[in-house]
Amino acid sequence: MTRGRLVALAALLAAALAVPAGASGYTVNILTQICLYTFLAGAWNVMALSGLVSLGHAAFFGLGGYATAWLYVTHGVTPALGWIAGAVLAGAVAYAVYWVAFRCGLRGIYFGGLTLVLAESFRFAAINSPALGRSQGLELLGFHMPSAAVYALALGLMAGGMLLTWWLLRSPFGYRLHAVRENELAAEALGVDTFRSKLSATVLSAALTAMGGTAHALLLRFVEPESDFGLSVSLNLLLGTFLGGTGTVLGPAVGITVLFGLREAIALVGEQLAVGTAGVYALQQVVYGLILMLVVLLLPEGLVRVAGSWVRRWWPARATHAAAAPRTVQPGAASGPRAADAGSETAPLLQVAGLTRAFEGLVALRDVSFELYRGEILGIIGPNGAGKTTLFNVISGIHPPTAGSVHFRGQSLAALTPSQVCRRGLARTFQVVRPFASLSVLDNVIIGALVRARDLRRARERSEEVLDFVGLAARRDATAGALTIQDRKLLEFARALATDPEVILLDEVMAGLNPAEQERVAATIRRIRDRGITLLLIEHVMRAVMGLSDRVLVLDHGVLIAEGKPEAIVRDPEVIRVYLGGSPVPA
């Protein structure tokens, strides 16, 4: 954050702190709640950065408030210590519950349902617990904190939460969360430990939410099941963040401010209509439901991003980066991929032995064995359904083998996750490209570079060099989702190269390209091989695979039916019968 922005932020905070001096108690109370719920929505936003949607964050909100109140009422513990205890308790509960959830592969609506059940379980427990005051809750008798002090606390939490979000969005952890949100499988293939990333985000989010719950208890000086564990708390956080914009610094503040403004307006309308408290509450729920539908249908990116796009449209800023012309990275440069001579080592780099993979009785691979040597390009061909991509999925850790083994540099890859396989030095691309569509080209590559880089600066430098190498330097600031299919293929190359691999698995990288584009991709493959990177290549473009490969494997119905030099493979009668189906293809 620049010095000017820090000064502006400090000035805004100073002005905000001065508000209670000239405002009514009601106004201070409303502003306190806006600050507090902005902080809480920001805490919810931390989880949302990884693509997770919680419908039960009230569980942690209530844990924070109840822990503080119970310790104060029963043991006389100061709320400051209760604040810490509540955050630790919420973090521990989140760790225990979500560890199991992520190990079981819960995501989407199932994860949201789990969070809702968690909050309702705590609400039910509080209602039926004598120690927690049952449905009446607990009152912090004898505790008094001036409204101005509570406001200052809420304001400080809001400012701290916004700074934390700002830092997260620009940190390696934030980049990894973005990758998990966009495409979990692609993130794993680039060395991102998605399990640890999601678990860290949920635990941090839960602890922060509990801190907000404690502040809310201090504001009201009591806790009770409905207001602390109730569904309305969770929905306010969800709706406020969605309305303002998930994954943004200002989104929670904008969304919560709009919601509180609407709440006050609805209260005035209800007063004029004399519908009573129950009627006002019902009207609020109807309006909030309509807002949620409108946001999902019309403003899925949130108010902050929509406003930002309008600003950029009418006041276009200068590009943050000059369009860089592609430049050649010289072979052997210290920053580039490793260099080695093809076949310079007698020991295989990758050894597959007796590999079998079955899916509920359907055998996709049967007793496949082969070796890959350093510096070579090993092509894999075969008809659709032959098991080629399944082979890649087993090697890269997506599917465990039913039988057999995979060794890389003499070490078994058994039981490793895709992220662990990548960190060992084995990267891959996908048959259907998986860009992180909302991120820039440069940010896509940075995520891969973070596997080796110790910090974001080194990752960015590495990514710049890789983009130069594949010819995408001029597109570095473009959104990945706006790239042509050819550039998306090259982006897959760049992301894999950024991990600094020894072996890259290329899965049909020429699919969907015209002949000129295929030649460009083939040239890139040759340049990668010339840098000493070993390649395992699945391809249906026969002239390309035969022209690029040092050796070729042929799979049919999961069985390895041929292996040899390209010129021998194209004349093999069995290969011609099951795959080529005609005259031999020139090697």
List, as one string, the DSSP characters of 254-320.
HHHHHHHHHHHHHHHHHHHHT-HHHHHHHHHHHHHHHHHHHHHHH-TTHHHHHHHHHHHHHSPPPPS
Average pLDDT over residues 121-150: 94
- What is the pLDDT at residue 285? 83
d(CA 320, CA 170): 16
Average pLDDT over residues 557-563: 95
According to DSSP, the β-strands at 377-381 and 551-556 are parallel
Terminal-residue alpha carbon distance, the chain? 57
**Residue 548 belongs to a domain with what CATH number?**
3.40.50.300
Residue 332 has pLDDT above 90, yes or no: no
- What is the pLDDT at residue 578? 87
Residue 535 parent element (H or E):
strand 534-538
d(CA 560, CA 572): 13
Q: Which of 461, 508, 507, 467 is nearest to 490 (CA)?
A: 467
Kindly report the backbone phi and psi dihedral angles of residue 97, in degrees, each rounded to the nearest multiple of 5, phi listed first. Answer: -70, -45
Would you say residue 465 lies in a domain? Answer: no
d(CA 465, CA 500): 12
Q: pLDDT (tens digit, 9 = 90+) per residue, 189-219?
A: 999 999 999 999 999 999 999 999 999 999 9
- What is the pLDDT at residue 5? 62
> Which 3 state secondary structure label does DSSP give 556?
strand
Q: Using N-to-C axis directions, what is the helix angle for 172-182 and 147-169, rounded to 10°?
A: 80
d(CA 58, CA 65): 10
Assign 536 a pLDDT band (cuts: 50, 70, 90).
Answer: very high
Provide the token pair at 469.
């190498």
- What is the pLDDT at residue 444? 98
Q: What is the DSSP string of 233-260?
A: HHHHHHHHHHHH-TT-SSHHHHHHHHHH
Residues 358 and 212 in one domain: no
Look up the domain containing 30 and give its range. 23-234
- What is the pLDDT at residue 323? 40
d(CA 537, CA 175): 29
> Which 3 state secondary structure label does DSSP give 90?
helix
Provide the token pair at 83.
């604040």
Average pLDDT over residues 327-349: 51
Assign 380 a pLDDT band (cuts: 50, 70, 90).
Answer: very high
Provide the token pair at 1.
């954050």
- What is the pLDDT at residue 326? 41
Average pLDDT over residues 384-394: 95
The alpha carbons of the chain give a radius of gyration, in whole angstroms, of 29
Assign 4 a pLDDT band (cuts: 50, 70, 90).
Answer: low
d(CA 110, CA 370): 41
Residue 223 parent element (H or E):
strand 222-223
| Biggest alpha carbon–alpha carbon distance for the chain | 93
Share of the chain above pLDDT 90, in %: 77
d(CA 502, CA 208): 41
Would you say residue 337 lies in a domain? Answer: no
Would you say residue 278 lies in a domain? Answer: no
- What is the pLDDT at residue 389? 96
Would you say residue 264 lies in a domain? Answer: no
Provide the token pair at 200.
């860290």
- What is the pLDDT at residue 299? 84
Average pLDDT score over the chain: 90
Provide the token pair at 463.
């990514």
* 496, 500, 502, 506 alpha-carbon torsion, rounded to 10°: 10
d(CA 124, CA 62): 12
Would you say residue 106 lies in a domain? Answer: yes
Average pLDDT over residues 157-178: 95
Residue 508 has pLDDT above 60, yes or no: yes
- What is the pLDDT at residue 20? 77
Give the position of tokens 């207001």.
227
Q: Which of 219, 234, 249 is the last residue of a domain?
A: 234
- What is the pLDDT at residue 324? 41
Residue 325 has pLDDT above 50, yes or no: no
Number of alpha carbons in the 13 Å side-chain half-sphere of residue 302: 23
What is the number of domains present in the chain? 2
Assign 18 a pLDDT band (cuts: 50, 70, 90).
Answer: confident
Assign 471 a pLDDT band (cuts: 50, 70, 90).
Answer: very high
Question: What is the residue type of 355?
Answer: L
217 in Cβ contact with 69 (< 8 Å): yes
Q: Which of 437, 438, 403, 400 is nearest to 421 (CA)?
A: 400
According to DSSP, the β-strands at 350-359 and 403-408 are antiparallel
Q: Using N-to-C axis directions, what is the helix angle for 108-127 and 79-103, rounded to 10°?
A: 140
Where is average pLDDT lowest: 20-24, 244-248, 315-319? Answer: 315-319
Q: How many residues does the chain have?
A: 587
Residue 187 has pLDDT above 50, yes or no: yes
d(CA 147, CA 24): 11
325 in Cβ contact with 481 (< 8 Å): no
Would you say residue 323 lies in a domain? Answer: no
Identify which has the larger pLDDT, 317 or 369: 369
Q: Which of 501, 45, 25 is nearest to 248 (CA)?
A: 45
441 in Cβ contact with 321 (< 8 Å): no
Q: Which of 234, 261, 284 is the last residue of a domain?
A: 234
Give the position of tokens 């010095």.
3
Average pLDDT over residues 441-458: 96
Identify which has the larger pLDDT, 202 or 148: 202
Residue 61 has pLDDT above 80, yes or no: yes
Average pLDDT over residues 428-455: 95
- What is the pLDDT at residue 582? 58
Residues 355 and 229 in one domain: no
- What is the pLDDT at residue 6? 66
Would you say residue 274 lies in a domain? Answer: no
- What is the pLDDT at residue 533? 97
> How many separate helices (H) and strands (E) can be counted in the chain?
24, 12
Residues 35 and 166 in one domain: yes
d(CA 443, CA 463): 8
Kindly report the backbone phi and psi dihedral angles of residue 68, in degrees, each rounded to the nearest multiple of 5, phi listed first. Answer: -65, -45
- What is the pLDDT at residue 24? 87
- What is the pLDDT at residue 2? 61
Average pLDDT over residues 523-527: 96
- What is the pLDDT at residue 298? 85
Q: Which of 183, 204, 234 is the last residue of a domain?
A: 234
Share of the chain above pLDDT 70, in %: 92
Q: Which of 208, 269, 274, 214 is nearest to 237 (CA)?
A: 208
Question: What is the residue type of 346?
Answer: T
The contacts found for 149-152 with CB under 8 angstroms, 24 or more apart, are: 150/32, 150/215, 150/218, 150/219, 151/19, 151/20, 151/28, 151/31, 151/32, 151/35, 152/17
117 in Cβ contact with 56 (< 8 Å): yes
d(CA 74, CA 131): 9
Burial (0-12, 13-18, 19+ Cβ within 10 Å), 230: middle
Residues 519 and 371 in one domain: yes
Average pLDDT over residues 165-179: 95
Provide the token pair at 496.
């894999």
d(CA 547, CA 562): 18
Would you say residue 46 lies in a domain? Answer: yes
Q: What are the distances in angstroms from CA 545 to CA 381, 390, 488, 535, 570? A: 8, 19, 20, 12, 11
Residue 292 has pLDDT above 90, yes or no: no
Residue 7 has pLDDT above 80, yes or no: no
